[in-house]
Amino acid sequence: MNHSEERALAWRDELRKSMKAKERTDIPRVHMPELNAEYRSHSRLEEVNLGLTAEMAMLEAKRCLDCANPTCMQGCPVGIDIPRFVKNIERGEFLEAAKALKETSALPAVCGRVCPQEKQCEGQCVHLKMKKEAVAVGHLERFAADYERESGNISVPVTAEANNIKIAAVGSGPAGLAFAGDMAKLGYEVVVFEALHEIGGVLKYGIPEFRLPNDIVDVEIQNLQSMGVHFVTNCVVGKTISIQDLEDDGFKGIFVASGAGLPRFMNIKGENLVGVMSSNEYLTRVNLMDAASEDSDTPVFKGKKVAIIGGGNTAMDSVRTARRLGAERAMIVYRRSEEEMPARLEEVKHAKEEGIDFMTLHNPIEYLGNDQGRVTHMLLQVMELGEPDASGRRSPVEIPGKTELIEVDEVVVSVGVSPNPLIPQSVEGLEVTKWGTVVVNNDTMQSAVPIIFAGGDIVRGGATVILAMGDGRKAAKSMDEWIKSN
Amino acid sequence: MNKIVSKEYFSANVIKFEVEAPLIAKARKAGHFVMVKVGVKGERIPLTIADADLQKGTITLVVQKMGVSSSKLCALEAGDYITDMVGPLGKATHIENFGTVVCACGGVGTAPMLPIVAALKKAGNRVITVIAARNKDLIILEEQMRLHSDEVIVMTDDGSYGTKGLVTNGVESVINREKVDLCVTIGPAIMMKFVSLLTKKYEVPTLASLNTIMVDGTGMCGACRVSVGGKTKFVCVDGPEFDAHLVDFDEMLMRLGGYRDIEREEMANFSNH
């Protein structure tokens, strides 16, 4: 059933009429319960957001007007039937709500935690037009997914009869997982190849436990496994096996979602000093390798004065991790002002509550070290805002001669990533941009090599979990059509 | 999970493993490496592939016991499994007929040099291999090197075997007697630094295979970065081999020592790992 058919169901109609719109919009938006800021800034593994109670969720769900033309859905990159799951929460059918989510999203418990909702579903909510706060769609999504998981009644989405056609996903991050879920539903035999020893890509190596616990990612992966998706870890497509090997092995379509592999550096003096590293390295050590635990063999620096360069979600994850590993001073150094920061609002808010220093309108120009080559200081250029640049944001301009020297013992560079070059290097005929991203047809996600589709950061260069998932869904739909028309 | 098929002690601290890895055995070329992790909480460490047997579907790794992770690996026996192994990674060695090539290796660097020596020989080069170690007991793979080299020069620090002296003395003796078209060096960073300084003096083009700290080994973390000709390169995807004369070995040595204090502490608490 599509959205309007669902909306026309008797229970929905009844529920809509049970309360006046004015009464619904008058309910204040729910506040997500969270751990005390001082406590959590020393607790590495506990999740900050505690989740809504059933009462809170049902009340929040009442705020949704169940619009005939739900603009929130247009804001969702994977096209979740948002009113349907929200209204199921309102009537107390939490498992039905979870089911509705899983029809379109392979990872609802993940999206409910890490999506930038304020720029997507909630950013399009009709409440905003009435100068009210948006319905907390993200919190409700998380509630439904968590309720289902904790209930032990995890539903496995219905899959079509097996068609015995083998298809592959390269990379087990959000794009690969979303693709795998949709293809499994369509009856394909799906194999996901992962280069690392763990499944989940950036959800495991990048996003910290306090924001997205690994256990939650694992449950979503198990859900895919119970739908018949196979996972192969420790296998680098392009190195261990080639695309040609996959074709020879009978794979009829290959979705490349190998992510944004290479961390960018700024190429400034002292950047290779000991103690200066990429956010990928820092977060991988702490998240994937669990380096901060006593029993882990992987080491990690636990700096006391730590600077994170950048203003995105990865920078926020890094700085909050540094704080949790014992940094007395943990700083965000960002060249624009707070308004231009690309990080989610919630991450910035949480970081501030946890005592993070925000040094906006500052840009590092050099790192200095001691005789052992360890970083001891950073030299910052003070900036001001100029005219808007190509991104539409006001560009940072140096204030001549104005610099600051600040003591640091660890620097984490989080200024973006470049696409992983392994696949582009190893496949002949693949069209690649000068930035190294794979060129695809935007409607179909198909590349210049017909059997290869691609999505996520390998195409976008560096985006969000949900946009990657949207690509995965789009690629699944069009690969299915392409295979069937062949 | 990869099964260890055989284990052989080259010396008390240097061990050769043959490990089941049919896909890697098939795909690997001289110069490639693998990432290895022992145990659920193990560290990912890079090891250059020393050899492969396509029939058996195995690769050969030579490991020197140094820190927590290599000690854990060396404690494994034939029949045990390596928890995680992925590869082959890095760029393969560029092999062609250069003419006369001197292959200068020291310590466990001798193991990854073996497939390069074999490939160079097969491509028609005159290959002179210089193997160096502190003493006789630490000289490894001499017989196998002789199979693929026109000449093998053994150097020991204490003179207990071969000629007394450093690897650089061996290399210099060859350069002094005949024209050398290329030098390839693998070994401890400090050794490669001095080989590079020597060959630079004689203007002999030189490749060094670098072994730096890595976390993922696929280009993701950047822990392995080195300065080559003033530009930052990643050993895992741009290397591991670079023009030795352009490598900033001092910076590399400094970065290799970055975790030394933590490592020392962890070795002292080895029983916890």
pLDDT, mean of residues B94-119: 94
Residue B269 in this model has a pLDDT that exceeds 80: no
| Contact yes or no for B232 and A267 at CB 8 A | yes
Do A372 and B223 count as a contact with CB atoms less than 8 A apart? Answer: no
Q: How far apart are CA B114 and CA B101, in angstroms?
A: 13
Of B38, B64, B89, which one is at a domain's C-terminal end?
A: B89
**Residues B27 and B160 reside in one and the same domain:** no
Chain B positions touching A233 (Cβ under 8 A) are: 84
Assign domain A3-151 to its CATH architecture: Orthogonal Bundle (1.10)
Q: What is the pLDDT of residues B166-202, one digit of tens each?
A: 999 999 999 999 999 999 999 999 999 999 999 999 9
* Of A375, A355, A354, A374, the residue nearest A366 (C-alpha): A375
Q: In what order do the strands lie in the sheet with B45-48?
A: B45-48, B33-37, B84-89
CATH number for the domain harbouring residue B179: 3.40.50.80
Question: Which of B215, B224, B250, B259 is the best mutation test for A, with the most CBs of A within 10 A?
Answer: B215
Asked if the C-beta of A281 comes within 8 angstroms of chain B's C-beta atoms, the answer is: yes
CB–CB of B156/B79 below 8 Å?
Answer: no
Sequence ranges of the domains in chain A? 3-151, 166-261+419-485, 263-413
Buried b (16+ CB within 10 A) or exposed e, A208-235: bbbbbbbebbebbbebbbebbbebeebb
Search chain B and give the residue with CA nearest A269.
Answer: B230
Please indicate whether, in this complex, the C-beta atoms of B86 and A290 are within 8 angstroms of each other: no
Torsion of CA A422, A423, A427, A433, to 10 degrees: -100
Q: How many residues does chain A have?
A: 486
Please check whether residues B135 and B206 belong to one and the same domain.
yes
Question: How much is the CA Rg of chain B, to the nearest whole Å?
Answer: 18
Domain count, chain B: 2
Number of Cβ atoms within 10 Å of the Cβ of A104: 21
Per-residue confidence (pLDDT) for residue B245, from 0 to 100: 98
Give the three-class secondary structure for B167. Answer: helix
For position A465, what pLDDT does the model report? Answer: 87
Provide the β-strand partners of residue A372: none
Q: Is A160 helix (H, G, I), strand (E, B) or coil?
A: coil
Residues B239 and B114 occupy one common structural domain:
yes
**Helix locations, B100-187, DSSP H:** 110-122, 142-148, 167-177
ipTM summary value = 0.93
Distance from the Cα of B143 to chain A's closest Cα (Å) equals 30
Same domain, B47 and B122: no
8 Å CB contact between B119 and B182: no
* Alpha-carbon distance B4 to nearest alpha carbon in chain A (angstroms): 17
CA dihedral B48, B51, B53, B59 (to 10 degrees): -30
- The answer to whether B239 touches B202, Cβ cutoff 8 Å, is no
Judge if A166-261+419-485 and A263-413 fold alike in CATH terms. yes
B269 falls within a domain? no
Look at residue A260 in the predicted model and tell me its pLDDT: 80
Residue B194 in domain: yes
Residues 6+ apart with CB under 8 A from A269: A365, A366, A367
Q: How many CB pairs under 8 A join A and B?
A: 126
B84 lies within 8 A of chain A by CB: yes
State whether B82 and B109 are in the same domain.
no
Cβ atoms of residues A319 and A344 within 8 Å:
no
CB atoms within 10 A of CB A373: 18
The Cα B225–Cα A434 span in angstroms is 22
| pLDDT given at position B271 | 61
Whole-number pLDDT of residue B270? 66
pLDDT at A435: 86
Claim to verify: residue B126 and residue B201 sit in the same structural domain: yes
Average pLDDT over chain B, rounded to an integer: 93
Q: Which of B220, B226, B227, B273 to mutate to test the interface with A (most CBs of A within 10 A)?
A: B220
Q: Indicate if the pLDDT at residue B263 is higher than 90.
A: no
The partner residues of A269 in beta bridges, in order of sequence, read A366
Max CA distance (Å), chain B? 54
Q: Any chain A CB within 8 A of the CB of B85?
A: yes
Single pTM value for the model: 0.92
pLDDT tens for chain A, 486 residues: list them: 888 999 999 999 999 999 999 999 999 999 999 999 999 999 888 999 999 999 999 999 999 999 999 999 999 988 899 999 999 999 999 999 999 998 888 889 999 998 888 889 999 999 999 999 999 999 999 999 999 999 988 888 888 999 999 999 999 999 999 999 999 999 999 999 999 999 999 999 999 999 999 999 999 999 999 999 999 999 999 999 999 999 999 999 999 999 887 899 999 999 999 999 999 999 999 999 999 998 999 999 999 999 999 999 999 999 999 999 999 999 999 999 999 999 988 899 999 999 999 999 999 999 999 999 999 999 999 999 988 888 788 889 999 999 999 999 999 999 998 888 888 888 888 999 988 899 999 999 999 999 999 999 999 987 888 889 999 999 999 999 999 998
Q: Supply B47's token pair.
A: 């090891």
Residue A124 DSSP one-character state: G
User: Are B77 and B208 in the same domain?
Assistant: no
Predicted pLDDT at A304: 97
**CA dihedral sign, ordered A347, A349, A354, A357:** positive
Cβ–Cβ contact A357 with B under 8 A: no
Q: In this structure, are B50 and B134 located in the same domain?
A: no
Q: Span B211-215, mean pLDDT?
A: 93
Task: Please report the residues numbered 156 through 175 in chain A whose beta carbons come closer than 8 angstroms to any beta carbon of chain B.
Answer: none
In terms of residue numbers, what domain contains B83? 2-89
How far, in Å, CA of B153 to CA of B148, rounded? 13
| pLDDT of amino acid B160 | 93
* A104 lies within 8 A of chain B by CB: no
Average pLDDT over residues B111-119: 94
CATH superfamily of A263-413: FAD/NAD(P)-binding domain (3.50.50.60)
Q: Are residues B69 and B131 in the same domain?
A: no
CB A271 within 8 A of CB B230: no
Would B95 be classed as within a structural domain?
no
- Write phi, then psi, for B135 (nearest 5 degrees): -150, 180
**Statement to judge: residues B85 and B104 lie in one domain:** no
Type and span of the H or E element at B36? strand B33-37
Residues B109 and B232 in one domain: yes
B268 belongs to a structural domain: no
The domain boundary, picked from B89, B116, B135, lies at B89
* pLDDT bracket for residue B50 (50, 70, 90): very high
Distance CA B75, CA A51 (A): 45
Domain containing B13 — which CATH number? 2.40.30.10
- For residue A153, the model assigns a pLDDT of 85
Residues 6+ apart with CB under 8 A from A411: A275, A276, A277, A306, A307, A308, A309, A364, A367, A375, A378
Q: Rounding to the nearest 10 degrees, give the CA dihedral for residues A198, A201, A206, A212.
A: -80
- Asked if the Cβ–Cβ distance from B232 to A196 is below 8 Å, we say no
Note which residues in 23-62 of chain A have CB less than 8 A from chain B. Answer: none
Q: B104 and B77 in one domain?
A: no
Q: Where a domain ends, among B31, B54, B89?
A: B89
Contacts of A289 in chain B (CB under 8 A): 43-44, 215
pLDDT at A155: 84
Domain A166-261+419-485: which CATH number of 3.50.50.60, 3.40.50.1820, 1.10.150.530, 2.40.400.10: 3.50.50.60
In chain B, the percentage of residues whose pLDDT exceeds 70 is 97
Task: Give chain A's radius of gyration (CA, Å).
Answer: 23
